[in-house]
Structure 1
Amino acid sequence: MELYCKNSNKILYKNILKYFTILSMITLFICYEVYLIGFKYTKDIMINNQKIHSQIVKNTINNEFENVIGDLKYLYEKEELQNYINYGDESELEDLTNQLYTFSNSKKIYNQIRLLDADGNEIIKVLYGDNLPQIIPKENLQNKKERYYFKETMKLTKGELYISPLDLNLENGELELPYKPTIRFGTPLYDDERNKRGVLMINYFGKYLIDKIDVRYNKNIYKFLTPELMLLNNDGYWLMGNNTSTNWTFMIDGKEHISFKSSYPDAWNSIVENKYGVHKDENGIFTFDTVYPTSGYTKLNNRCNFPNEYTSIVYNSDYSWNLVSYIDDYSIAQIKQYVLNSLIGWSALIIIFIFILSIVLAYIDFNNKLFKNQLKRDAHTDTLTGLYNRRAGLDILKKHIEDLDETNKHLTIAYIDINNLKMVNDINGHKEGDFLICEICNIIKECIRSTDTFCRLGGDEFLIILNNCSEIQTKKIITKIKVKLSQYTRKSKKNYVFSISVGICQYDNRVFHTLDHFLEEADKRMYLDKKNYKKVL
């Protein structure tokens, strides 16, 4: 008994050490297993989301091709074009040119719309650039008989379409600067006697499609990595990627050796052999899929046949791109670090470990379930204020302008800039600046009508769209807002003074021919108001 008492502390310490060691080993083992499971689970969710994104992008591409082919059909059916083809009636060319000009201005996605004769001479050429179409004078028209797309289209029979590869536009044999990614859609023109008379060709802005793909591909779903989306052609060259210097190298002298195929040969072989799937190697993880933009158009064209037995069979049925979502080895290490950080401290108590794990997995699952809604919401909403963002706001303004001719109502905008916001940020920090922005937005929302649209253009600039509201009525609303803001300034007792400068402008289609012109005028008036404000100070 005495010996036991004498060694009790020692035995106690040994037991503590024994149980601590056993429990620590069990806890470490569990944490290690959870670490492996968590890493695999997170990686699998990431790969699954990439596959979902890939399908979204594929649908975007296919829908865009379908729309362009529909536009080509629409132009082909123009009565003026048919009269010119069948009767050589050049008096129709002026009306046809004007219609192509209007069509180009309304679509804004076609770099060129051209009518070429059987010898490759351009008869009509409408360019679109700087937000305006332009009819090219006859003396500046070119001969395109040596260009590959003209030759390929002229080989086709009646009812066939030619779709060129996505490449860069050439003018007079030189790459057009800045680069203009282009897809050419063409069809041969036959008269009623089945004589080939020329080619109808439309050049689609490839950048418009690339931008659409980029919008559909949300790179911010995961906080710990940023997947890179790549679009490759059949030869393994980049058409789209984060490193712009490696895009389009197949068309740039001296850079033909730079390609995805040469940079990632194992991944490229896997893409060629399997068409879709996941490839993993020392460079990272490649989730890939093959896009066939022209697939399924036989059904489309059976629904809407061109006149005169125009069957609209798509030429080059093997037309395809490769869509690759890439996670490099550094990002994979970030995933591992993310999971590991989530496990730090869990070994102390199993309960805490389980609790933290539940939070991490629930957070990942929550993000996985909401990511589709985030894609839609992020495209239309400003994250700080909850207002419409610039893109959504300008789309609404454009729609109101289009509806004006039918309703004969007034449309007025108020271009708003917050005065002294930079000073608030510099002195009190951006947190206070963000708080001030939200407070001002809340006050403005209280003062405007329920039918008005309030959006954030960016930074300290905002726009109120007041439909069916004259400039005089708008000034009363703005006065009410300024009074409310002044009252808030006095009550808040802040160590700074703030206000807003406002430019009010009522739409008049005789004055404003473009949306940008309308906004610029409101912006000018806002700066005039700001200038007067500074004079008062």
Structure 2
Amino acid sequence: LVLVIGFSLASARMDARINEMLEHDGTQLHLVSGFLGTEVLEALKHLRSLSTEAITLAALDSPEPAQLRLLEFSFLTLAQRNPLYQQVRWIDETGKERARITRDKGELHVGAQEDLQDKSDRYYFSDSNVLLPGELFISRLDLNEEHGQIEMPPRPVLRIATPVAGSDRKRRGIIAINIDMKYLFDFARNMEQADAVAEYLLVNQEGVLLNEDFLKVLAEDENAQDAGGIGPVIDEEAPGVDFAALQPELWEKALAEDTGSLEAADGLWTWRKLSPVDTLKQLTRVFPEHLVAFDQMIHDNFSLTLLAHRPVGTMEDVRSENRLLMSLGIIFTLSVYGLTLFFYLSGTARARRLEQDAASAKERASDMARMKELEERFHRLVEASTIGQLVVDSDGRIVISNHAAEKMLGYQKWELQGASVDALLPESLREKHVGLREGYMQAPEARRMGEGRNLSAVRKDGTMVPVEVGLSPYSDEGQPMVLANIIDLSHRKG
């Protein structure tokens, strides 16, 4: 009986530790998924607007040097406002670049005529050039190529494109934007630095590992090599590594399930599939007028799998700890069995209960510390977003404001925190908004604010800015909260 109890306790504790690691890694992976769709949504709006601007149409009809300079200036202005845009281009119907803006090491450059390239053999051109004007194309995430060669150091990009036509309705090629996806890799590195045990990898839908730095870390791990893992077969000259061939069992499960976990010979794996198109479908329920219906959106079945890996050494540490605990549990159980009467008479049982209470308090404190860490990471994600975001509590008080919202509304950092969200509305609407806000909190749901009406926000200096606001309710430690996504319409193109 004592052995059964000991094994049961050790097994239960080990399951709890593994579940704790899986839950932690799953939460980390979930934080990334919302960002991807938000960034692509904003870029698609810019692309649709850019393709219908008067400057663009004039260049399509008359691609003379003067018109092309104006088009390049329009591209340059767009790229200056959006630091993730690595390239903005007009590629004509033959596949020849006619105007291009490129960001290199943070600096924007206008492509000289002799540097413009033929992209007729690139899949994103051929796939998007056959679409109808107004339809949108989203590429897969892969490594950027220049002059037929993969750019070094490797640059992961996502391309969006739409076909364009002149006033005579003849095709004039495509307008394309390259979105630099380096921020996803930076986020993965930051997560690894925050958790020295876990490693995070990004794999595209073709099974190609895109962040080689993590693969090289695994290659140096002797345990992974001894277990027949991915370490011994790394080609450091290749810009992308076939992760699917290196981890066939894991990749097969990851293809079949959007989220999951697997304990393999080289450690514990957790994964989550990121699909910006799926996220866009959710976002367009809040802002439906900004995109055509999704049966008109053409994309390349883009998906990206983010994996968290805990080496086999971590699992061995958990097992060793539990073997020790099992031995101690058996000894403890025997001691309790033999000395129960003594403990009862001497009052030690009461002391034991106090110890248990103290242990429970310590565990609760540890849980609170983990929750605080997750909350801080959530704050960093909100702060990094290019869309203005406010978190508002049930009393209408602003709990969190990111830099984009503060800049849009003219406030310094932290000035909005603790302020009433009603103060951001025109004075004539504030009293009415109190009742509307309280009614919304009775039955909160994800939707647009002020459906069918033109909304304006009041800046700190009293001026007005036209906005669109999406509301997304959630619960934080049992308290109702609302995440407000605010889009500035004052710089809307077209």
Q: Give 1:374's match in structure 2, choosing from 367, 373, 376.
A: 376
- Aligned position for 1:501: none
Deviations 1:276-333, CA, capped at 9 Å, x for gaps: 2222333322222222211254673841257xxx989321362212222222321112
- Aligned position for 1:265: 248
Structure 2: how far apart are the matches of 1:345 and 1:253? 47
- Aligned position for 2:290: 304
Structure 1: how far apart are the matches of 2:46 and 2:56? 14
Q: Give 1:329's match in structure 2, choosing from 288, 299, 312.
A: 312
Structure 2: how far apart are the matches of 1:123 and 1:182? 21
Q: 1:378 to 1:340 in 2, by over 3 A?
A: farther
Structure 2: how far apart are the matches of 1:378 and 1:87? 46
Q: Secondary structure at the match of 2:154?
A: coil
Query: 1:191 offset after TM fit, Å?
Result: 2.8
Query: 1:259 offset after TM fit, Å?
Result: 2.5
Residue type of the partner of 1:374? Answer: E
Contact persistence 1:246–1:259 (CA under 8 A) = no
Contact persistence 2:192–2:199 (CA under 8 A) = no
- Aligned position for 2:214: 243
Q: Does 1:57 align with 2:32?
A: yes
Q: 1:208 to 1:254 in 2, by over 3 A?
A: closer
Q: Does 1:110 align with 2:112?
A: no
Q: Secondary structure at the match of 2:277?
A: coil
Deviations 1:100-147, CA, capped at 9 Å, x for gaps: 122222322122111111112211111112322111222222222222
Show structure 2 runs of 5+ residues with no match.
219-229, 337-351, 384-401, 416-494
- Aligned position for 1:230: 201
Structure 1: how far apart are the matches of 2:104 and 2:43? 18
Contact persistence 1:160–1:313 (CA under 8 A) = yes
Deviations 1:248-275, CA, capped at 9 Å, x for gaps: x9xx897599522222221112122233
Q: 1:79 to 1:344 in 2, by over 3 A?
A: farther
Structure 2: how far apart are the matches of 1:81 and 1:203? 18
Contact persistence 2:258–2:272 (CA under 8 A) = yes
Q: 1:196 to 1:245 in 2, by over 3 A?
A: farther
Q: Give 2:22's match in structure 1, choosing from 44, 47, 51.
A: 47
Residue type of the partner of 1:79? Answer: A
Residue type of the partner of 1:370? Answer: K
Residue type of the partner of 1:366? Answer: M
Contact persistence 1:166–1:181 (CA under 8 A) = yes
Q: Give 1:313's match in structure 2, choosing from 296, 308, 315.
A: 296
- Aligned position for 1:500: none
- Aligned position for 1:80: 55
Structure 1: how far apart are the matches of 2:209 and 2:9? 39
- Aligned position for 2:135: 160
Q: Give 1:150's match in structure 2, choosing from 96, 104, 125.
A: 125
Q: Give 1:95's match in structure 2, choosing from 50, 70, 73.
A: 70
Residue type of the partner of 2:265? Answer: E
Q: Secondary structure at the match of 2:98?
A: strand
Q: 1:357 to 1:203 in 2, by over 3 A?
A: same
Structure 1: how far apart are the matches of 2:136 and 2:105? 29
Give the count of matched residue pairs: 359
Query: 1:90 offset after TM fit, Å?
Result: 5.6
Residue type of the partner of 2:73? Answer: N
Question: Which has the bigger relative contact order, CA under 8 A and spacing at least 6?
Answer: 2
Greater gyration radius: 1
Contact persistence 1:229–1:242 (CA under 8 A) = no
Q: 1:82 to 1:319 in 2, by over 3 A?
A: same
- Aligned position for 1:290: 273
Comparing both structures, which one devotes a greater share of its residues to strand? 2
Contact persistence 2:201–2:209 (CA under 8 A) = yes
Residue type of the partner of 1:375? Answer: R
- Aligned position for 2:97: 122
Structure 2: how far apart are the matches of 1:264 and 1:155? 37
Show structure 1 runs of 5+ residues with no match.
1-24, 382-394, 412-449, 452-537
Deviations 1:151-182, CA, capped at 9 Å, x for gaps: 22212222222222222222212222222222
Structure 1: how far apart are the matches of 2:21 and 2:117? 50
Q: 1:305 to 1:111 in 2, by over 3 A?
A: closer
- Aligned position for 1:358: 360
Q: 1:59 to 1:241 in 2, by over 3 A?
A: farther
Report the TM-score, using the length of structure 1 for normalisation: 0.57
Structure 2: how far apart are the matches of 1:195 and 1:284? 57
Q: Give 1:211's match in structure 2, choosing from 169, 176, 186.
A: 186
Q: 1:108 to 1:255 in 2, by over 3 A?
A: closer
Deviations 1:423-466, CA, capped at 9 Å, x for gaps: xxxxxxxxxxxxxxxxxxxxxxxxxxx99xxxxxxxxxxxxxxx
Query: 1:226 offset after TM fit, Å?
Result: 1.9
Structure 2: how far apart are the matches of 1:83 and 1:89? 10
Q: Secondary structure at the match of 2:179?
A: strand
Residue type of the partner of 1:124? Answer: A
Query: 1:30 offset after TM fit, Å?
Result: 5.3
Q: Give 1:175's match in structure 2, choosing from 109, 132, 150.
A: 150
Q: Does 1:191 align with 2:199?
A: no
Structure 2: how far apart are the matches of 1:115 and 1:378? 35
Residue type of the partner of 2:371? Answer: K
Q: 1:168 to 1:318 in 2, by over 3 A?
A: closer
Q: Give 1:202's match in structure 2, choosing from 177, 180, 188.
A: 177
Comparing both structures, which one devotes a greater share of its residues to helix? 1
Deviations 1:26-73, CA, capped at 9 Å, x for gaps: 5x7655543322221121122122222222211122222222222322
Q: 1:270 to 1:77 in 2, by over 3 A?
A: same
